[in-house]
Structure 1
Amino acid sequence: MPHKILITRPEPENAQTCQRLAEQGIIAVPLPMMSITPITDKTEIAKIRSQVFNIDEYDYVIFVSKNAARAAAEWLDECWPMLPEKVYWIGIGQGTTQTLIAEGIPALSNPGHTSEDLLDWLKPVKMTGLKILIARGSEGRPTLGEKLSQRGAKVSYLSLYERKKPTYSAQTFVMLPDINKIWATSGESLQTLTEYTLALKKAWLDYPLFVPSQRVVQQATEAGWKNVICADGADDFSLLKATELHTGRSNDR
């Protein structure tokens, strides 16, 4: 059975993923379950500018996503003609790290692809007194900052964009092409996908659902998804590898 995969990434990643899959002869159906919007409040913009101007005060700057990497790179270009020295730039996952490197930021990356993997990687580092800035969207997941604070780090947040739930009508789901698999690349997008699925497409709960981590596997299972597969990564390569492997096993049965 040919792959017909619902892609739920936010833009611009959604279009990029769909194009990559199409080039491999895979049918990719775009339906973002999160929208990324710039911050427009003047007070918040002034706060961002101040934080970026003072970014040399931090020992580590951690970027949680490609969107955070792109947004931060624009601010760094504006505020720092040359990047400050003695700052460690870290991207969570290879995709985020490669985005930073492409923007001229010499980032390191932890093995793995989650905040939990990063925390394991940083275990040998003495955190007491270190100043850490986490670049993310507003009201992001608190686990990383909380754990680093517990280890004695002084954690601040650089909130660079807003994440919003997209609005779809029932007609949107009626008009969608047929699919037989779903990629959900974050817990937040999974939550929105589940809400729409329960309301409009309950049959999807039985479809193979590919997610990036065991944490999201648990979230999906608790939400009622019946066939959840961990891809061990949110990048296209990891998800496609898991999809092919699962399909092969299904065909063997």
Structure 2
Amino acid sequence: MAIAKLSDLRVLVTRPEDRSADFAAALRAAGAEVVLQPLLNIAPLTAAEHGAAMQKSHSILLNLDEYQRLIFISVNAVQFGVEQIEQYWPQWPVGIEVYAIGAATAAALADRDVTVHQRALAMNSESLLSCSGLQNVAKSKILIVRGVGGREYLAEELKKRGALVDYVECYQRCKPSIDGEQLREVVSARRVNMVALNSGETLSYFTELMGEEAFSYPILVPGARVEELARAQGYCSIVQAENAGTEASITALECYANNNTPI
């Protein structure tokens, strides 16, 4: 019989509802108890709030054939971005190279019959920037498909290499309708002893809702950048996964459970 490696963990999963199934299933398979409470939802843009961004995307996508490289930063970018692109280009422009951050993003593109030229091995911009196809990009036009208000690091680094970079912003991140009292009640009633926070945004929102009490919980975060944010906010018990993927997250939690100390 397989050993339930995470049987002592009761994990609060804060990923968007439609992005939590694989991680939750892997946690349960490893013996953990799962408490689902999204702290971030993903939604399409609305004309009332994002009219300017939508108009900019319209203009850019009409001229997609002018770009040499197209970067999808997440599964959400694929879900919303490919649909928009194919409204203008049922047949994609010839010669455009498609890049993906992480295996899940690459798989989502493959599911839509989009050929990925190269993908980042880890789920972050730093890994993507190491791809050979993004080294010599002087005077190349690169389009990044993302949500509203994402990180600027990727574009800034590509510009340093001489690229001309634009964005198509095709979805928004929304806070769910839960207040601090409700979240504290969930965490207390289910005796949560690990909080999985898959981005800097969910980390900050958990801190905002829970106040000082947040720092008493061990947290799982994806990568060094979010780990640094967590320490700056006041967290001490931090489990750092290599990235936000399910496999990396489970591996980090297994190390934590084996050692009973943050890694």
**Normalised by the size of structure 1, how large is the TM-score?**
0.90
Query: Number of residue pairs matched?
Result: 248
Aligned residue for 1:118? 128
The question of whether the paired residues in 1 share the 8 Å contact of 2:184 and 2:210 is answered with no
**Pick aligned residue for 2:184 from 159, 173, 189:** 173
**Pick aligned residue for 1:97 from 101, 106, 113:** 106
Aligned residue for 2:4? none
Partner Cα separation in structure 2 for residue 230 and residue 210 of structure 1: 6
Alpha-carbon distance, 1:71 to partner: 0.6
The question of whether the paired residues in 1 share the 8 Å contact of 2:197 and 2:220 is answered with yes
Q: What are the Cα deviations for residues 23-44 of structure 1, in whole angstroms up to 9, with x where unaligned?
A: 5543211122222121111554
Aligned residue for 2:140? 130
Range with greater deviation from structure 2 (79-88 or 56-65): 79-88
Aligned residues: CA RMSD: 2.0
Alpha-carbon distance, 1:127 to partner: 1.6
Q: 1:124 to 1:158 in 2, by over 3 A?
A: closer
Partner Cα separation in structure 2 for residue 20 and residue 248 of structure 1: 17
Alpha-carbon distance, 1:128 to partner: 0.9
SS at match of 1:82: coil
Partner letter of residue 156 of structure 1?
D
Q: What are the Cα deviations for residues 128-179 of structure 1, in whole angstroms up to 9, with x where unaligned?
A: 1010001011111111111111111000000001122233121343144221
Q: What are the Cα deviations for residues 81-112 of structure 1, in whole angstroms up to 9, with x where unaligned?
A: 22222111111111111111112111231222
Partner Cα separation in structure 2 for residue 229 and residue 86 of structure 1: 42
Aligned residue for 2:167? 157
Aligned residue for 1:38? 44
Partner Cα separation in structure 2 for residue 172 and residue 194 of structure 1: 11
Range with greater deviation from structure 2 (42-51 or 8-17): 42-51
Aligned residue for 1:244? 254
| Mapped pair 1:52 → 2:61 | yes
The question of whether the paired residues in 2 share the 8 Å contact of 1:15 and 1:30 is answered with no
| Percent sequence identity over aligned pairs | 31
Aligned residue for 1:22? 28
**Pick aligned residue for 1:205 from 215, 219, 227:** 215
Partner Cα separation in structure 2 for residue 19 and residue 130 of structure 1: 42
Q: Which runs of 5+ in 2 are unaligned?
A: 1-6
Q: Which runs of 5+ in 1 are unaligned?
A: none
The question of whether the paired residues in 2 share the 8 Å contact of 1:59 and 1:88 is answered with yes
Partner Cα separation in structure 1 for residue 161 and residue 240 of structure 2: 29
Q: 1:110 to 1:7 in 2, by over 3 A?
A: same
Aligned residue for 2:12? 6
